[in-house]
Structure 1
Amino acid sequence: MFSFQLGVVETLCLALALLLLGSYLAKNINFLGKFCIPAPVIGGFLFAIVAAILRGFGLIEISLDTTLQSLFMLAFFTTVGLGASFTLIRKGGKLLVIYWLICGALAFIQNVIGVSLAKVFGLQPLIGIMVGAVSMEGGHGGAAAFGETLESLGIDSAVTVGLAAATLGLIAGGLVGGPISKYLITKNNLKPNENAVNLVDLESAVKTDEKKLTANLFINQVFIITLCMSLGTLLGKYFSEITGFVLPGYVGAMFVAIIVRNAMDKLKMKYFDLKGTTIIGDLSLGIFLSMALMSIQLWQLADMALPMVLIIAVQVIFMVLFTIFVVFRLLGKNFDAAVMAGGLAGHGLGATPNAIANMDAITRKYGPSPTAFLIIPIVGAFLVDALYIPIILAFINFFS
C-alpha cells in the first residue's frame, strides 16, 4: 500500500479546504442545512470516509501532521471564556440561572447513562463518558478536546468515538427538538406571553461596540487571547501536578479568560472587542474541528458501532422524557418554557445552532418567545461550559 504523508503546512491547507467545502455543501444541500450540520464536520467526515475507503482497498494510507490542532483548540476555548460576561447573566435573571442549572444536571445524567451502559456492553467507563456529556452537551468541540485528553490517558479511539457520537447527537437534536415544543404547546394550549421581554432588550444585552476592525485592534485581541492561553496552560499544568487531578490546559485557559473578561468589564477597559474575538474564535473552531474530523480513523469504530448507537438512542429517549416532564415544569409550564424545552434538546444533544433552529421553527408557527432567544444562546454558547466541563473532569478523574 502506498503511504502518503502531509506536513504541518499541507495539513493546515487541507483543513481549510475541507472547511470551505463543508460551507459550500451546507448551503447547497437541504438536509445538511436543515439539521445545522457544521461545515468542518461535513468536510472533515467526507475526507475521513474517503481515507478509510482508500485504506480499506489497500490503495493509499494518508498520514496527517495535526500539530496545530491543539493550538487552535486552546484558542477556541479561550474565546469562549472571553465571551462569558456576568452582565449577560444578570440580564437573563432567575430563569437563566434555573436553565443553567438544568444544563448542569443534564450533563451529570448524560455521563451516568453513558458510563452505566458502557459497563453493560463491556466497554471502558471512559468510553461511556465520550458518549455522554462530552459529545452530547459538549458537541464536536467537546468530543475533540476531551477525546485528546482521554487518548493521552491511554483510551484508544476516544476522539473517533466522541466525534461520531456528536454527529449522531447533532442530527437527533434537530429531529426531536421541534416535535417536543409542538407537543407541549398543543397539549397545554399555550400562547406567547404578551409581556415577554422585548427583542430590543436582547439586542442591547449582546450588542458590542461597532468599532472598525483595524490591525491594531485585532492585535489587541490576539494578545488578550494568547495571554489567557499562556496563564491557563500554566494553571492547568501546576494544578494537575499539585493535586493529581486532570485539568487540561484549555480548561484552565477558559476559566482564566472568564476572569480576565469580567475584570476588564469591571474596570471599563476599552481594549477588548467581542466582534474581533468572535472572529478569531470562529476561525479557530473551524480549523480545530476540521483537523479533528479529517484525522479520525473510522475503522476503529467497527467493534463499538452497535453499542455506541444504542447508548445514543437511550440518551435521545431520556432527553425527550426529561424536557417534557421535568424541564418544562421547572421553567414555568408556559409558552416560553415549551420553546426552551425544544431548544435544550437541540444543544443538549448537538449544538447551540441546533437549538436556535428548533426555536425558530416553532416561533415562526406559534408566535415569538424573546425570553427563549435571550437565555438559550447565552447559556448554550458560553455559560454551559462552566458547569459541564467540571462535571466531565470529575467523571474522568474518578474513572481514570
Structure 2
Amino acid sequence: MVRFYDFSGEYTIRIRGDYSFSFRNEHGTFSNTGGPMDFSQVDGILHIHLDNFFILGIACLCYFLGRWIKSEIKLLQDLSIPVPFIGGLPAAIIFACLKISKTAVIVLNPDLNALIFQFFLTMMALMGSWKLIKTGFVISIMFWSLAMVLGVLQALIGLTAAQALGLHQHLGLLMGTLSMMGGTETLTNFIPAVEHLDKFSGAAQAAMGVATLGMVCSMMVSAPMGEYLIKKYSLKNPSRSEFDNARLIRSIERSNKPFYQTHTVECIKIIAICFVCMAFSHLIKQKFLADVLIPDYTVCMVCALIARNFADTTGWFSVDGLALRTLTKIFLILFILVSTCALQLDLIFDLSAPIIAVFFLELIVNFLFARFIYFNLLGKDFRGMLIAVGGLAFSMGMAANGLSNMQSLCEKYGPNTDGFLVVCVVGLILLAISNTLLIKFLLTIF
C-alpha cells in the first residue's frame, strides 16, 4: 500500500496480487479489480479478501473433507454431528491461527452467505402448503410461545448474572437474548444502539464472541441431544418412507421422459420462483418496511408462502417435492459451510472469565429447556425431538444451525417435513418479529 498527500488530503493506492489496484481518498474510491484475492495492509497485518468464487471453492472442498472425517470417526457418526460443520471448522481454526499470530487476516464477503441464506429460506417456505401449515399450526403457536418465554428467560439470566459479576447490565443483555436467540444479524442491528446508550467500548466484540461461541456449541450439542432422545424413548419417524427409493423408482418408471430431464426442469422452475419472490420481497422491504428492523429473508419467506399456496389453489404451476428437497439441502449445506469457515474463533479467546461463565450458564438453561420443555410439551415423538433439537440450536445463534442439526438426524432416520417447517416458520418469521420487539422493550426498561 502506498500513501501520499497533497493539499486536498490523503490518497491511498492499494496494489493487489494480480497487479490490479485501488485508488482512494476522502472523496471516494477508484478500483481496478480482478483475480480471486485482494491484498491490503492494515496496521502492518496482511489482509486477504477472498472473492465469492474462491470462498465457494474452499467451502466445497471443506464439505468433502467433512464427509471423510465423519466416515473415519465413529463417534461423529453416532452423535450425528453435521458434515458441513465438521468440514468447515478446520478452515475456521486455520484462519483464526493466522489472525492470532498476526500473519494474515482472511476476509470473507458476508453478502455471499446472505444471498445463499435467502435462497435457502425462500425454498424452505415453498414447502409451506396450506395443508401442511394447518397440520402444524397448533404446535407452531406452542413452539413460538415457548421460544418467547426462553427469550425472556435468557435476558433475565444475562442481566442477573452480569449484575452479580459486576458487569454492565447492557452487556448482560447482549450476552443473553441478543447473542443467543437474536443471532448475529439481530446483534449487529442493536449493538450500535447499546454502545450509544452506554458509551462503553468492547461491547460489540464481546457480544460477537459470545454469539460465535454459541454457534460452535449449538452445532456440538444439539444433534447429540436428539440421538439421546431417540435412543431413550425408542422414537420412530412416521415419515421415513415419504421419499423412499421404491417410491422414486415407481415415479420414474411412470414418466415418459428421462428423469434427469424432468428433474432439471423442476429445479430451474423452483429457482425461477425464488428469484421472483426475492425480487418482490426486496421491493416491499424498500417501499413499505424500510424502517422496520426485520431481516430481508423474513419478507422473502412470506412471499414464497403466498406463491406456494397460490400455485396449489389455482393449479397454474406446481412445485416438485423432490427437486425442492434437493435444492434446499444443497443451499443449506453451502450456507453452513461458509458460515463455519467465517467463524471468528479468535473472538472467543478475548472473552473474559465472567463472560464465559455467563455463557455456560445460558447454555445449561437452553439445554434443559429444550430437553424438558420443548420435547415434553411438543409431543415426545420424533417430530417433537426434531423441534427440540432445532430450538436448542437456534436459541444459541441462528435458525440455520438448528436446521443443519435436524438435517443431519434426518439423513440417518428419514425426512420429516413437518418439523422443518415448524422451525422455519417460528424461528425465521414469527421470532424474527417478536424478538425484535422484545429487545426494544428490554432496552427501554434497562
Asked if TM exceeds 0.5, the reply is yes
Could you tell me the TM-score, scaled by structure 2's length?
0.67
Q: Please name the residue that 1:30 is paired with.
A: 74
Q: Please name the residue that 1:140 is paired with.
A: none
Equivalences for residues 148-227 of structure 1 within 5 A: 149=189, 156-157=204-205, 161-177=210-226, 179=228, 212-227=261-276
Q: Please name the residue that 1:111 is paired with.
A: 151
For 1:239-285, what per-residue CA distance to the aligned partner results, in whole angstroms no more than 9, with x for missing partners?
333xx321221111011111111111111233432333333332222
Greater relative contact order structure (CA < 8 Å, 6+ sep): 1
Could you tell me the TM-score, scaled by structure 1's length?
0.74
Name the CA shift for 1:65/1:353 in 2 (closer, same or farther; >3 Å). Answer: closer
1:46 maps to amino acid:
P
| Aligned equivalents of 1:227, 1:297: Cα separation in 2 | 34
Q: CA RMSD in A?
A: 3.8
Q: Structure 2 unaligned runs (5+)?
A: 1-44, 163-167, 196-202, 253-258, 394-401
Larger fraction in helix: 1
For 1:367-388, what per-residue CA distance to the aligned partner results, in whole angstroms no more than 9, with x for missing partners?
xxx9x96743443456654433
Q: Please name the residue that 2:133 is paired with.
A: 89
Q: Please name the residue that 2:434 is paired with.
A: 391
Name the CA shift for 1:51/1:357 in 2 (closer, same or farther; >3 Å). Answer: closer
Equivalences for residues 35-114 of structure 1 within 5 A: 35-90=79-134, 92=135, 96-114=136-154
Q: Please name the residue that 1:138 is paired with.
A: none
1:113 maps to amino acid:
L
Equivalences for residues 300-379 of structure 1 within 5 A: 300-301=347-348, 302-303=350-351, 304-323=355-374, 327=377, 331=379, 337=380, 341-350=384-393, 351-352=402-403, 354=405, 375-379=418-422
Name the CA shift for 1:174/1:98 in 2 (closer, same or farther; >3 Å). Answer: same
| Aligned equivalents of 1:236, 1:124: Cα separation in 2 | 32
Please, which of 53, 68, 89 is the counterpart of residue 9 of structure 1?
Answer: 53
4+ runs deviating over 6 angstroms: 151-155, 196-200, 207-211, 356-361
Q: Please name the residue that 1:188 is paired with.
A: none
Name the CA shift for 1:82/1:31 in 2 (closer, same or farther; >3 Å). Answer: same
| Aligned equivalents of 1:359, 1:321: Cα separation in 2 | 21
Larger fraction in strand: 2
Q: Please name the residue that 1:285 is paired with.
A: 332
For 1:215-246, what per-residue CA distance to the aligned partner results, in whole angstroms no more than 9, with x for missing partners?
444332221101111111222333333xx321
1:104 maps to amino acid:
W
Cα deviation, residue 126, structure 1: 4.4
For 1:59-108, what per-residue CA distance to the aligned partner results, in whole angstroms no more than 9, with x for missing partners?
33323334322211211111121111112234x3xxx4332222112210
Larger radius of gyration: 2
Name the CA shift for 1:278/1:338 in 2 (closer, same or farther; >3 Å). Answer: closer
| Aligned equivalents of 2:192, 2:342: Cα separation in 1 | 16
Please tell me whether residue 228 in structure 1 is matched to residue 300 in structure 2: no
Look up the SS of the partner of 1:245 in the other structure.
Answer: coil
Q: Structure 1 unaligned runs (5+)?
A: 135-142, 186-190, 332-336, 365-369
Name the CA shift for 1:35/1:177 in 2 (closer, same or farther; >3 Å). Answer: same
| Aligned equivalents of 1:399, 1:375: Cα separation in 2 | 33
Q: How many residues align?
A: 359
| Aligned equivalents of 1:274, 1:360: Cα separation in 2 | 17
Q: Please name the residue that 2:198 is paired with.
A: none
- Give % identity: 19
